[in-house]
Amino acid sequence: MELIISIAIGVLTASGVWLLLRPRTFQVIMGLSLISYAVNLFIFSMGRLSVNQLPIIGGDRPVSLSHYADPLPQALVLTAIVIGFAMTALFLVVLLASRGLTGTDHVDGREVD
């Protein structure tokens, strides 16, 4: 499972960097989104990937940290997802305003003939 998550993080990061280097603003926004998804996966994987573990201490299980999932990375990723959606919406509004003012969606503001 760790290998799959590592490959997913690498593919998302590489795709995001490739899109960041494109000349159109929408592609840059999509690249930033992919990189933020890769960072979210990285933070989530830092909290020990575990399957069928309880998030809260309780019941008849022993009080050992190996029996429970770490809730802090889950909370951080949830917060980052909400902030990422808000930033993407803001970027799209700025993209539309910039396109309306300049008439082009190139990052530098001019079309290459």
Q: CB neighbours (10 Å) of residue 28?
A: 19
Q: Where are the alpha helices (DSSP H) in the chain?
A: 2-20, 25-45, 71-102
Q: Calculate mean pLDDT across residues 102-112.
A: 76
Rounded Cα distance, 64 and 50, in Å: 14
Return the pLDDT at 38. Answer: 95
- pLDDT tens-digit series, residues 15-69: 999 999 998 888 999 999 999 999 999 988 887 776 766 666 666 666 666 666 6
Q: Calculate mean pLDDT across residues 86-92.
A: 93
Rounded Cα distance, 73 and 84, in Å: 16
Rounded Cα distance, 96 and 72, in Å: 36
